[in-house]
Structures are given as structure tokens and as C-alpha cells.
Amino acid sequence: MPTPEALLAWFDSRLESLPYDENSLASFVSSLCAPPVGITHTKLLYRSVPLQRPGPKSWTYFPADSTGNRLARISYRSPQPGVYVTAMVRLLRRVADPEIDSYSVSDFAVVTLDNLNSYGKTELRRVDQTNKRRKVCILH
């Protein structure tokens, strides 16, 4: 696994390489309705990403660097089946209480629309079985 500093440097280089203008949000919303084939990366203001998060399990945290900043990947629900939307965002550590990790979110996020890769999901087994553990379903 790369170092936290390398991950943050990669994220900064991705942000610099992606253009952003007033039409970025409108083109992202239109690409949700008719997604292009392939993997598309877009730079958006984090607070303007127009999708709902499915819950706390959708956040993946990467290791923190020496200052406490880290990356997080957020998975979103997509209105189109078979299209997966994730956002990478930088979390900036706020040192208000040393016993509690509190973060603020950076302004921009790298949003990815992916309709080429298949992803898995977990679901409960049937209720009538004695074994009610979760099973993994691979979606193709």
C-alpha cells in the first residue's frame, strides 16, 4: 500500500489535472441519466455532489499522514443500474479535542462514474434457514 503522503500527492495531482467550470455539475447530472461507456472522472465541489450516500458503511478511510489529513472514498447510489459512483475527498484534521478525531472536508472531490466493472453486495440469507449470516453476491 502506498504511503499516506503519496496518496495525498496523487489526489492533488488528479485535482489539478481535471478541469472545473460552472457547467461541470450540469454535465455530471446529465451523464448520470445517460452515462458514457467507460470510466469517467469529474472534479466537483464536494457539497454539490447531487447524490445521497447509502449509509455509514459507504465511507472508506485511508491512513492519515503526519499532520492527520487523509483521503476518504465515498460510494454513492446511482439512479442507473450497473453504474457505480464513487468520490475521493481529502479530510482535513481539526485539532479541537485531542481525544476525538474530527475532520473537515476539502472543497473539491474527484467523482468517478464507472459502468465497466462489476461490484459485489452483501445480503441476508433466507429467513427460514437456521444460518442467517450474510452472503456475498458478485454482480456481473
Helical (H) or strand (E) element with 80: none
What pLDDT score was predicted for residue 140?
A: 38
What pLDDT score was predicted for residue 136?
A: 52
What pLDDT score was predicted for residue 18?
A: 93
Q: How far is Cα of residue 37 from the mean position of the Cα atoms in its chain?
A: 19
What pLDDT score was predicted for residue 53?
A: 57
Taking the alpha carbons of 113, 117, 122, 123 in that order, is the dihedral positive or negative?
positive
What pLDDT score was predicted for residue 52?
A: 64
Long-range contacts of 92-99 (CB under 8 A, 24+ apart): 93/64, 93/67, 93/68, 93/69, 95/68
What pLDDT score was predicted for residue 56?
A: 46
What pLDDT score was predicted for residue 139?
A: 46
Cell 489529513 locates to 69
CA distances from 5 to 2, 10, 22, 129, 134 (A): 8, 9, 31, 48, 36
Running along the chain, 140 residues long, what does each successive block of 10 average in pLDDT?
90 93 87 85 88 62 88 82 86 76 87 78 57 51
Q: Where are the domains of the chain?
A: 4-138
Phi, psi of 8 (to 5 degrees): -70, -35
What pLDDT score was predicted for residue 130?
A: 59
What pLDDT score was predicted for residue 29?
A: 86
What pLDDT score was predicted for residue 133?
A: 56
